[in-house]
Structure 1
Amino acid sequence: MVQSFMRKFCVLCALTILLVACTQQPLSSQHPSAIATSAPTLATLRQRPLQLPRISTDQSCPVSSARQIDADSPITIGNGPAYAAIGLSQPSQQPVLLFTDAQHYANGQSQGWGGAKVRWIVRSSYYGPLLIRGSQLDNSHQIRFDEGLLSEIALTIPQGNSQQWYDRPSDTRLQVPGCYAYQVDGVGFSQIIVFQAVVEKQQPPF
């Protein structure tokens, strides 16, 4: 009788251990935060939606403040770590981007888009992916970039840059004047840089 009871008890214990082993979650699924806290890539930055303000055509453009970050840097707009240098000569100037219209830009070979030179200045303390996109705030026109009319500037800033600044020349391509904004996304930040775009027909010097 005792032996029969012990055999049944051992079988019950074995079944219990097997059931627990089968229902236990894998170790990797117990720690989803390891994926959530991984460093963003350009692909994950592209998943962030554009969150630009909208204004009516009769509202004033809420331009960003201009500043000179240090004595050796140009006048820029933005809060960092990435800044846009749009051709201002004084911090007191309103952030106005003077751009060449499509008829005069690139000797008329502009595919219907004008443009202006914009330098992107990034602090050397920042490294990793950087995504720059933009749009018009008081209408539905888009911002494009460079000769290929790209919808974004996608950069990967290297770590250990010996220079104080990472400097990336670019062309901001526009079709009409108005109030515009860049959205700059990077590791741990997202910022909006607002500027007024005004047509200057003469081709600017390179």
Structure 2
Amino acid sequence: MDDAEYIRLLTSQAEQANAFLSNARKWERERWVCQRLLQGLNIAYRSEEFMPAGQEPPDVLFRDARLEVFFVLDEGRRLNDEWREELQRRRSAFSLSQLVRRQARPKRIQAAQLLQRLGPTLRKKAANYQERGLDLSELDIIAFASLKRETLNLNSHFPPPTEYLRHGWRSLTLVGPTFVRVLYAHPDAPDFLRANLGRSIIFDVGVSL
């Protein structure tokens, strides 16, 4: 494969990423995160088991789980803008050398630091849903950590997510490109979450956005 063919391949991949991040494919992204969770927990599933809710929240229905998904990104980072820029870079490149970027090595952070990043979104969701009279104890939260400048030290201590438990969510799970961690699961939470409570499960292959 010569440079031109490889650039065309990279451009096609960027086009697919942009399409995947469009508003029209929001539910597909959320389902993808749920599938990553199940893969990490080694739970077999069929595509037809995933259903959109009639009215959000939740985002995705899977068996007895009512899954509400959100993304955790580096501060100031926007996936849509990032991939639009990358698509233009690849479309305008004439050689692979033009696409080379030097990036700093990701900083290793502690689990407690990553859990703090969930706060703004979870507080906002909790306040919004409570104002709407929704029952938070019926929602299973999945936070997908898609970080470029930082990486989680999986050997660090995961403190209890005390603040978030006060909101009343049924369960709270952290999913990353290479790991799954069920942070909290109420006795009424789905069995596959309760069975893996407190375990850090490592993926063989990392996948992110």
> TM-score interval w.r.t. the shorter chain?
under 0.3
Structure 1 or 2, whichever has the larger Rg, is 1
TM-score by length of 1: 0.26
Q: Which one has a larger percent strand, Structure 1 or Structure 2?
A: 1
Q: Which one has a larger percent helix, Structure 1 or Structure 2?
A: 2
TM-score by length of 2: 0.26
